[in-house]
Structure 1
Amino acid sequence: MQVLVDADACPFVVKEILFRAAQRAQVRVTLVANQYLRTPPSPFIKAIQVPSGFDVADARIVELVESGDLVITADIPLAASVLDKEGQALDPRGNWFTRENIEERLSVRDVMDQLRIAGIDTGGPAPFSPRDGKAFAGQLDRFLARHRASPR
């Protein structure tokens, strides 16, 4: 099991939580981005820089993900691809993407895209808050505890 991170838009605090979790749980965390990322020295943490381009990092994550892996992303189409490969997807605010909610999330995303194309200001997500960081950390800890408890 590994944790893959869609790192270009991942909040700094979430990366810090992941770095600490990698050391504590001795789980591999790989950040994928189209820019250089500084990571702490650790045998459990690495960064992959991909070329710039639309969805290049997402494609690399889909290529790397295996059944049971965890992907951290706010990108709904990427989360859908991860679920198709039997991976698990968690957003940086601590919300799980599941088979039960992914179609609705994709539909809402498409509607919002159409509204933006039509020139309607749809706003954006609320700023990332300390509460979001705590929710993410809690979900990550529960996931890692389940992973340690399950025989492989």
Structure 2
Amino acid sequence: MIKIYIDADACPVRNETLRVAERHRLETYIVSNGGMRHHENPQVHTVVVADGPDEADRWIADRIEPGDICVTGDIPLAARVIENGGTAIRHNGDTFTEANIGQQLATRDLMADLRASNPFMTGGGGKPFSKKDRSNFLNRLENMVQAARRR
């Protein structure tokens, strides 16, 4: 059975993900370092991991299986999800794939190096999250769930 994992720290599409999961009656895990309220749906599990960098990512990556879906903006987590046979989707609806994850990891590392070499860099942070991003996310997540069910 398909499961959905939400990398919940700073996730702007948690409610949208839960709507799709409830519609399809999918077991869902909301994983964070804390601050999440328990959900009344018995198929929605709130998981609070220990404080520390990447604890939520580690918990998800250790449990995801082929066919499962992970909602995350974290590129290294997405790489581990793909490696384990799952699928990963960003909050704006962009999907991580075997074909694009290597380039995304390389770009992430390059940008980290650039930021480290110039501590006075201004700007950045990317574009703001929009209604169109939310809509794209909902459409892509629905398509991912339907495709996983067909498999």
TM-score bracket relative to the smaller structure: over 0.9
CA–CA separation in structure 2 for the residues paired with 1:40 and 1:84: 30
SS in structure 1 of the partner of residue 53 of structure 2: coil
Residue 146 of structure 2 is matched in structure 1 by 145
Task: State the AA in 1 paired with 2:77.
Answer: L
Task: Normalising by structure 1, report the TM-score.
Answer: 0.92
Residue 34 of structure 1 is matched in structure 2 by 33
Q: CA deviation at 1:113?
A: 0.3
Unaligned residue ranges in structure 2 (runs of 5+): none
Q: Is the 8 A contact 1:67 1:85 kept in 2?
A: yes
Residue 89 of structure 1 is matched in structure 2 by 88
1:91-143 CA distance string (max 9 Å, x none): 11100100110111011101110111112336012111111000000001111
Q: Which moved more, 1:40-49 or 1:113-122?
A: 113-122
Task: State the AA in 1 paired with 2:5.
Answer: L
CA–CA separation in structure 2 for the residues paired with 1:135 and 1:39: 27
Output aligned runs, 1:2-151, within 5 Å: 2-11=3-12, 14-118=13-117, 119=119, 120-121=121-122, 123-150=124-151
Task: Normalising by structure 2, report the TM-score.
Answer: 0.93
CA–CA separation in structure 1 for the residues paired with 2:139 and 2:108: 26
SS in structure 2 of the partner of residue 74 of structure 1: coil
Unaligned residue ranges in structure 1 (runs of 5+): none
- The 1:74/1:145 distance shift into structure 2, 3 A limit, reads same
Taking only aligned residues, the RMSD between alpha carbons, in angstroms, comes to 1.2
Q: Which moved more, 1:100-109 or 1:119-128?
A: 119-128
1:37-68 CA distance string (max 9 Å, x none): 12431022111000110111110011111111
CA–CA separation in structure 1 for the residues paired with 2:149 and 2:106: 35
CA–CA separation in structure 2 for the residues paired with 1:102 and 1:149: 24
* 4+ aligned runs moved over 4 Å, structure 1: none
SS in structure 2 of the partner of residue 136 of structure 1: helix
Q: CA deviation at 1:148?
A: 3.1
Give me the identity figure in percent: 36
